[in-house]
Amino acid sequence: MKFIQLKKLAVLALSVLLSLNVFLAITSGVNAAPVKDPTVYINGDGSVELTWNSGKSTTFRNNTNVNLGGLKSIAITPDHGWHIEIVLFDGISQEILDEDGYSLIDVQVKRVISVAFLENGGIDDVESGTYIAAYPDPDVGLVFHNVFADGFAYAYLIGLQQYDQIGESWDIYTNATFVQNVTVYLVLSINDLPDGVFPGDLALWRTEVVLGDVNLDGVVDGTDQSIVANANPDDYDPTLDLDNNGVINSDDVNIVAHNHGLESIWEQLESWTHMEGNFVYVYGITDHFSVFGVTRRN
């Protein structure tokens, strides 16, 4: 969509601020921590697997006090929708070779391992290959069956709520070059399901937003026309530039008027559900991207 790049910049700016705060918090903890404090610090959602020369291996997800003597290797793995932001060994920053997880052999750490994970914030890498997984958000997963050219996957929560939807609507987009199908899944908390609705009742739906539905409420009406007609010419909003010519004028208003009354029509995808802990994963197969949401099956 036209506003993806602006949102990407906002997400990246937020990531920088969060990274700085996390870095300061971790380093201050490392410098001040007495020996009896935990020797593995984990901030965010992910795991740290330690393997010793003896062959013993243990995976940690929270701060823990563990003997680092005889350490052989460390594997750092973010949860889906997260990435590795900072790694410190004894307060010294390490080069992050792969934000999606990597292993280090012959690790020399005497006292403290610190790892910070951050949420992807709506963007994730899409690499070339087959069955490439991307997690732009902890609640959105994509599996590309065949990717020819690298790119990014984007997922933005939007306010499109219609047709007895359950959960959330997501505007999903990618600039990676792919063929064949993509598996899309949205993650819902079981506790958030309405009374009387069970995981087996859920299905993944898709819609194309009608051109002119600028407030994303599922229908083109007078509200959209008023928003475009009253746009501030000194504050360019690409989401209101419906003909994509760099200006917002009467031509854009006419587009809204021409599509007045049109509604977004939801299409149910071939889909299924999977339970994991307190979450339900609602899967669907698609050959292109648009807006996705979860609702009841027909």
Residue 29 has pLDDT above 90, yes or no: no
CB atoms within 10 A of CB 84: 22
For 208-222, what is each residue's pLDDT tens digit?
A: 888 888 888 788 999
> How buried is 47 (Cβ within 10 angstroms: 0-12 exposed, 13-18 middle, 19+ buried)?
middle
Phi/psi for 233 (5° steps) reads -65, -20
CB burial string 258-276: b at 16+ within 10 A, e below:
ebeeeebebeebebebeee
pLDDT band at 164 (very low <50, low <70, confident <90, very high): low
Three-class SS of residue 259? coil
| CATH number for domain 123-296, candidates 2.60.220, 3.30.70, 3.10.620, 1.10.10 | 2.60.220
Specify the pLDDT at position 21: 46
pLDDT band at 163 (very low <50, low <70, confident <90, very high): low
With pLDDT > 70 as the criterion, what percentage of the chain qualifies?
A: 86
pLDDT band at 22 (very low <50, low <70, confident <90, very high): very low
Residue 28 has pLDDT above 80, yes or no: no
With pLDDT > 90 as the criterion, what percentage of the chain qualifies?
A: 43
For 269-290, what is each residue's pLDDT tens digit?
A: 888 999 988 999 999 999 888 8
Specify the pLDDT at position 44: 94
Q: Which residues contact 23 (CB under 8 A, 6 or more apart)?
A: 86, 116
Residues 242 and 247: their CA atoms lie apart, in Å, by 9
Residue 238 has pLDDT above 50, yes or no: yes
Q: For CA atoms 22, 26, 28, 29, give the dihedral sign.
A: positive
Q: Which residues contact 227 (CB under 8 A, 6 or more apart)?
A: 214, 215, 240
- What pTM does this model have? 0.72
Domain boundaries, the chain: 4-119, 123-296
Mean pLDDT (whole number) for 245-251: 88
Specify the pLDDT at position 10: 42
Relative to beta strand 151-158, strand 279-286 is: unpaired
